[in-house]
Every structure is written in C-alpha cells, then in structure tokens.
Structure 1
Amino acid sequence: MKFLPAGYKTKDLEKPVKNKWRWDWLNECDEKGDKWGNWLKKTDIPGVAFCECCAKTIKYGSSGKKGLKNHAKDSNHLKNKSVVPGLRQRADNPVVPSTVTTLETPWGSKVYIVGTAHFSKESQDDVTKTIEATQPDVVMVELCNSRLNILQLDEEKLLEEAQNINLEKIQLAIKQSGLGQGIMHLLFLSMSAHLTKQLGMAPGGEFRRAFRDAKKIAGCRLQLGDRPIQVTLRRALSSLSVWQKIRLAWYLLTSNDPISKEDVEKCKQKDLLEEMLKEMTGEFPGLSEVFVKERDSFLAHSLKHAAQPLPHPVVPGAHLPSVVVGVVGMGHVPGIMENWEKLQYNMKDIMTVPEEGYLPKVLRFGFRLSFLGIFTFACWRVYRWATPMIT
C-alpha cells in the first residue's frame, strides 16, 4: 500500500467503486476545526483511505464522505489524534524555498533536501524556513563525527579557528589521520580558510542553523549523514599517483587568488567548494569519484535510513511515515536524486580503506627519520651552546 500525493488523478483508479475519491475532502474540518488532511491519506487501493492517527484503513467506496465523517467523530480517533505528535502542525503540501528538492520513500516518508551554498546567509535562512514549514522528525546534516564540533562553536570562534592554522592544528591533524591524510586535510583546510578570509564568513553556518532549529521542535532529532572524513581522505589519496599527489599539494598551496564581489554573489548560488573540486577533476579525476560521486551515494543512503517509518505511539506494531529535512551542499543534490531509487555504490565498498602501498610507507619513514635527525641536531646545538655556561 502506498500513499498518493495530493492532486493525483484518481479517475482510472476509482472506476470500480461507487463513491469516487475527492481531494477537497482533505479540506473538511472536524468538530475542533482540524482539517482531515492532517491525518487522512489516500492510498493506491480503490475506495480505501488511511488514518495516520489510528494506523488503520477507512473504506469509503460505499458510504463516501459520510464514512470518513463518522470516523472523524469516533471517540477512539479523537483520543488517538490528541496524543499522536506533530500531525496537526504539518501541512499536507508545505511551502518551501526553491532550493528544496522533495523525495518520497516507498513507505510514504517524505524527505526535503535543502541544497545549500556553504558560505551563504540565504542558505541558512532556507534551512530555517524548511524546518519551520515541514516540522520534521529528523534533520540530517552533511557532517560526520570528526566534524561535529562545527555545530558547537559560535560564528566568531569558527572564523578565528579557520583563519589560523598553527602547529598544534598540524600535529592534531597528523595524529588523527596519519601523515598523508593529515597533510591533505590541512591543505583543504587552507583552501577553506582562504575563502573564509575573503568572504568574512565561516563555513557550516547552515549546519549550525539546522542544529539550533531542530532543537526547537519537540521530538526532532539530529542525524549526521556524511561518510567519515578520514575514510574519504584516505580513499582520495589512494586514487592518486605520487606525481598527482605532489601536483595536488602544489595546487592547493598556490590557489589563493583574491575573490571579487561578483564571486561572492556566486557563492550564494552554488556550492563553491564542490565547484573548485569539479575544476580539478580534469587533472585529478579520482577526486571527483571519491569526494562527490561516492558521497552522493552515501548521503542518499543516510537520508533513506533517516526516513524509516516511526513506531506508532498508540497502536502496537503499527508505524507512521516520517518527515526528514536533509541539509547538504547543493552540488550533491543531483547525485542524491540519481541514487534515490538504486544506490550506484555498495556502502561496504566505499567505506573500505585501501591498504597503503610500499612507496607511501617509505616516504613516511623517511619523513620521520628526517624529523628525528633535525630534532637530534637541534638538541646537540643547544647542548653545545649551554655547556660553556654550566662549566
């Protein structure tokens, strides 16, 4: 059994029944003034509707609107309606910004994907409007556990953090991700810091807004939907040859061109970081595969998981379709749509970290050996300098 969207042409479907379905029935109100559309759904079965409050079907084929009206007055229905959360607050077709794409699962859950530009105040406002209009059960953001702290810090602190890459940050990145992945992470952080300085806005504002707005809705939970950054970075590095890694590092270190006012306006209309990655795919095609396509599939999988039906609060064993708002970079939206019906990647495969080759191990060992040599030489110089003073 599936639910039909409002306005769906039911003429052919309803041929076998005496009293045909009418969409204007959803605008009828009960004795308390609540619209039927807040709990009544049309199914893909002729002559059958569904009450979300009672988690049961209602046959109207023989009795028409009268049968639905009797159900609306039933004491059990009124009792259930008073305890089922959220049904009276949700519009059947909420008005959402143009940056929102609506998807539906086979079990009737709705997913509203807000495509954002990571450096845009307008995107943050779109997130608020969408959450307020849809009253979701789950808000999913394009983050992983390693980037969870972006939700806790205030805008000024994040701006300061992004603009200052110090030795402590370098050591922490290498400690968490290893030498190669840590350096690559820092190079991408450097690119983000450059954009932050130019735009005067820290990235991730739409995620912080989603976090704050989700907390205002009773029962709404936040879900992290992105693949762990360490896995993404290691898979990205493994997709490049040694020469490509050197060229990529050079590209990231030297791509600090000033951003014009026109570029700032463009940032409000597209995912700038994703666009910069697309520009690099000519020389580094593996990066597009790992950073964009694989993550599109992972995000689609996360959204479907977030949209699982919810246990009915009144009827044992019954379930209700859920409502989900996903907040992702707009560069991911087309890919999520392509992966919605069928995932293009196996989740186990794209969560696998390739084994490190022989050459990276040699380079890492050489780096550590060089660092140890420099440290030993520095200690020897300090000893030579301090010895005459002690004697």
Structure 2
Amino acid sequence: MNDTRIAIQLGDREIILIGTAHVSRESIDEVTRTIREESPGQVCVELDAGRYASISQNDSWEKLNIAKVFKEGKGFLLMANLVLSGFQRRMGDELGVKPGEEMKAALETANELGIPHGLCDREIQITLRRAWARCGLWSKCKLLASLISSAFTTEKMSEEEIENLKNHNELEGMMDELSSYLPKVKETLIDERDRYLAAKIWSSGIEAKTEKGLKQIAVVGAGHIKGIKSHLEKIFANEESADVSALEIIPPPGFLSKAAGWLIPLIIVALIAVGFIQAGAGVSLSMLLRWVLWNGSLAALGTLLALGHPLSILVSFVGAPIATINPFIGVGIFSGITEATMRKPRVGDAENIAEDVGSLRGIYHNRITRALLVFFLSSIGGMIGNFISIPSLAGLLAK
C-alpha cells in the first residue's frame, strides 16, 4: 500500500486521500501533481479558517490584540499554538519549506484549475481547548512539560527523517507512543479529528456531487489517513453519522476541576482562621503576611525571570493574593496585560513572531512573546507560592 495516497471507492464517489508531512517538499510536489493529473470535482484540505489566514495573509499576526487575549483567558491556548507552529517552522526552515505549504499549494492549484475547494478541519482553538479540558491534573502537567521542552529543543531532523514521517510503520510507532504518554490528548488531536475530517470531507462532497458522481481529493496529514478511511467507510455504510457538531463543544469542567479551583484558597483561609481562633490576631496576621510573601514574591520572581517591566513585577506581587482568593481570574492576566500596556507590541514583533518563537533569545526580544512569558511564569510562580505557603502556615499553627 502506498502510505501517502489512498483511493477509496464509495458508491459513485471516489475519494483520494493524500497524506503529507507538513514541512515536506515532496508533499508539495505530490499534491500539485495529483490534482493536475486527476482533475477532481472538489479539493479538501486539512485547514480551518484561522490557520488558512495565518499561512496566506502576511498581516495575520499584526491583527493580534495580546491584551484582549489575556482578558478572554486564552493566554495558555495562544502559547500552545505558538509553540506548536514554532516547532514546525524550525523543521521547515532547515528544508526551506514553510509549515502548511502543501495545503496552500493544493488550494492555489485548485483555484488555477477552477476546481471547487473547501477547508475541512476543526478550529485549532476548539481542538486545543477540548484537549486541555479532557486532561486531568497530571496529564496537564505532562502536556505543559512537553510544550516547554519542544519550544526550546535544538534537535534537528533531516529531510529523509521528515519524509519517513509519512511511512505507515513510523506513524504507528509515534501514535502508540503518544497514546501511552497522553491518551486523552491523542484522542482529541488524532482520533476525534480523524472522525471530524472524514465527516467534513463527506459533507462537502455532497454539494459538489453531480449525476455522474464525484471524484474528491483530500489533502491531510499522513497520521490521519488510516482513521479517515475507516470513518468514511462507516459514514457510507450508515454506521456513523456525518453530523460532528458535538465535537465542536468544549466539555464543561467536572466537579473535581471546579472544586480544585476553590480548594487552595479555602485551605489558606481556613488555616488563617484557625490561627486567629487558637492563637489570636497576632499569629493570624503573621500567617497572612507569610502567605502574601510566598505567593506574591514567587509570582513577582516569575515576572522578573521573564524580564518583565518593573510595574509588571509590582502588579504580580500585589495581584497574586487577589487572584488566589478569586479562582475565576489569574495573576497572569494582571501581569500580562500590564506588560502589554507598558511595552506595547511593535509592528516588527507581529511580523517576526513566527521566527522569534523558535529561540529563547527571540522570545525575550519579541514583546508579544515576552508578554506571554510574563503571563506564564507569573502564573506558575504564584501557583508554587500557594503550594509552599500551606505547609508553612500549618507549621506556624503547630508551634
């Protein structure tokens, strides 16, 4: 079997799946060649509107309002998106290929030949939010660790290694590894999207279908080919619905997740209250001061490590205790907005963000990514401060 190209005959519809590596020159050539040779009635690509805009519009990052991102609670999502795109870009730079170039080439070829085309992937923000919502605390920690390590990795891949990513055996090994390390993430990033992509490919073909049937070409990541084929066959056999609207809903947090947000502040307040009852106002005031110092100082230290503005450091110190008592907000929102306000992103920051995210020096130099770093490190610092303060407060009670 050709690992990068599968033709499926489903009644009077033929669907040709082309599996690509997103930074592969060979994938670009194969996609354009196949579209020209097959002259399909429709072309689908594994892109959503947002990602298509980012690879086709040079000014897409210039429209980013970083302060608005923080206010809407999307700081972590933007960080994850930047890290993933930065990792792909680093691999592509070594080969002179931009990430997603094969998808762009497919759409450009379809436009040139007058072939109807469509985007068949789920919005990246929904995918990331669903993946995050389905992770437990331990899985979230592992996911964050993986993202951080991939952001600063210096590992390089040869062109041959990247082309091997399309090989069936290589993919099986990678999927098995991801499944064992982060099963919920694998389900959301791969399994769910296999079904989503298959349903959108099928549905978009219904409108383009003629009396003589339809030949479709779908350009997708090689890791999705096997799953998409299986789901297309199930949809054709009426064993599965083509309605995947349920996969666009963000799962609400469970009871434990909601309770966890209140647990830390409740423990801290309870310890200080017990200190007041047992030992009086002096001890409870000492406990309150100790908690504020641990929580605020480590949040401020995180901002300092991010080389944040002096006012951002002060805001982190003052804002951390307030954010702890109110789980609906985080200190990173305060410090991130302050950083973005005091050091407003420049046009060059937006233009170079994709390149800057690929190195530690670039992240610190770029005002957008540095604001994100302030947001992230102040949040982590405040969180660590809370965990440390609890045994510290308990120790005062024991004296």
Q: TM-score range by the shorter chain?
A: 0.5 to 0.7
**Cα deviation per residue 1:227-250 (whole Å; 9 max; x = unaligned)?**
111211110001112332233222
Aligned residue in 1 for 2:130: 235
Aligned residue in 2 for 1:265: 160
Q: 2:223 aligns with which of 331, 337, 343?
A: 331
Q: Using the TM superposition, give the Cα deviation of residue 181 of structure 1 relative to its aligned residue in structure 2, in angstroms.
A: 2.3
Residue 221 of structure 1 aligns with an amino acid whose one-letter code is P
Separation of aligned partners in 2, 1:374 and 1:174: 11
Residue 116 of structure 1 pairs with residue 20 of structure 2: yes
Could you say which structure has the larger radius of gyration? Answer: 1
Q: CA RMSD in A?
A: 3.8
TM-score between both structures, scaled by the size of structure 1:
0.58
Say if 1:348 and 1:208 are closer, same or farther in 2 by CA, change over 3 A: closer
Contact in 2 for aligned 1:114/1:328 (Cα 8 Å): yes
Separation of aligned partners in 1, 2:340 and 2:201: 49
Say if 1:362 and 1:331 are closer, same or farther in 2 by CA, change over 3 A: same
Partner of 1:320, secondary structure, is coil
Contact in 2 for aligned 1:111/1:307 (Cα 8 Å): no
Q: Using the TM superposition, give the Cα deviation of residue 180 of structure 1 relative to its aligned residue in structure 2, in angstroms.
A: 3.4
Q: Using the TM superposition, give the Cα deviation of residue 370 of structure 1 relative to its aligned residue in structure 2, in angstroms.
A: 5.0
Contact in 1 for aligned 2:91/2:156 (Cα 8 Å): no
Aligned residue in 2 for 1:104: 9
**Cα deviation per residue 1:279-307 (whole Å; 9 max; x = unaligned)?**
44322111110000000001111121132
Separation of aligned partners in 2, 1:190 and 1:167: 19
Say if 1:208 and 1:376 are closer, same or farther in 2 by CA, change over 3 A: closer
Aligned residue in 2 for 1:296: 194
Q: 1:341 aligns with which of 233, 237, 241?
A: 233
Bigger Cα displacement from structure 2, 204-213 vs 339-348: 339-348
Aligned residue in 2 for 1:350: 247
Q: 2:113 aligns with which of 214, 217, 220?
A: 217
Separation of aligned partners in 2, 1:144 and 1:195: 22
Structure 2 segments unaligned to the other structure (5+ residues): 262-325, 344-399
Contact in 1 for aligned 2:48/2:124 (Cα 8 Å): yes
Say if 1:326 and 1:192 are closer, same or farther in 2 by CA, change over 3 A: same
**Cα deviation per residue 1:83-116 (whole Å; 9 max; x = unaligned)?**
xxxxxxxxxxxxxx8732111223x011111111
TM-score between both structures, scaled by the size of structure 2:
0.57
Partner of 1:268, secondary structure, is helix
Q: 1:134 aligns with which of 38, 48, 61?
A: 38
Aligned residue in 2 for 1:207: 103
**Structure with greater proportional helix content:** 2
In the TM superposition, what are the counterparts of 1:274-285 in structure 2 within 5 Å? 279-285=177-183
Contact in 1 for aligned 2:121/2:193 (Cα 8 Å): yes
Aligned residue in 1 for 2:185: 287
Residue 250 of structure 1 aligns with an amino acid whose one-letter code is A
Partner of 1:140, secondary structure, is strand
Residue 324 of structure 1 aligns with an amino acid whose one-letter code is Q
In the TM superposition, what are the counterparts of 1:173-192 in structure 2 within 5 Å? 178-192=74-88
Separation of aligned partners in 2, 1:212 and 1:119: 17
Contact in 2 for aligned 1:146/1:228 (Cα 8 Å): yes
Say if 1:224 and 1:178 are closer, same or farther in 2 by CA, change over 3 A: same
Structure 1 segments unaligned to the other structure (5+ residues): 1-96, 313-318, 379-391
Contact in 2 for aligned 1:114/1:326 (Cα 8 Å): yes
Separation of aligned partners in 2, 1:309 and 1:348: 18
Residue 331 of structure 1 aligns with an amino acid whose one-letter code is G
Contact in 2 for aligned 1:119/1:203 (Cα 8 Å): yes
Residue 334 of structure 1 aligns with an amino acid whose one-letter code is K
Separation of aligned partners in 2, 1:210 and 1:167: 26
Q: Using the TM superposition, give the Cα deviation of residue 331 of structure 1 relative to its aligned residue in structure 2, in angstroms.
A: 0.6
Residue 148 of structure 1 pairs with residue 43 of structure 2: no
- Larger RCO, structures 1/2 (Cα 8 Å, 6+ apart): 2
**Cα deviation per residue 1:193-219 (whole Å; 9 max; x = unaligned)?**
43234444211111111011101223x
Separation of aligned partners in 1, 2:342 and 2:21: 48
Q: Using the TM superposition, give the Cα deviation of residue 145 of structure 1 relative to its aligned residue in structure 2, in angstroms.
A: 1.1
Number of residue pairs aligned between Structure 1 and Structure 2: 266
Contact in 2 for aligned 1:109/1:309 (Cα 8 Å): no
Separation of aligned partners in 1, 2:166 and 2:148: 21
Say if 1:177 and 1:342 are closer, same or farther in 2 by CA, change over 3 A: farther
Contact in 2 for aligned 1:307/1:324 (Cα 8 Å): yes
Q: Using the TM superposition, give the Cα deviation of residue 374 of structure 1 relative to its aligned residue in structure 2, in angstroms.
A: 7.8
Residue 368 of structure 1 aligns with an amino acid whose one-letter code is I
Partner of 1:307, secondary structure, is helix
Partner of 2:330, secondary structure, is helix
Contact in 2 for aligned 1:179/1:364 (Cα 8 Å): no
Aligned residue in 1 for 2:304: none
Aligned residue in 1 for 2:292: none
Residue 193 of structure 2 aligns with an amino acid whose one-letter code is R
Contact in 2 for aligned 1:137/1:322 (Cα 8 Å): yes
Say if 1:311 and 1:240 are closer, same or farther in 2 by CA, change over 3 A: closer
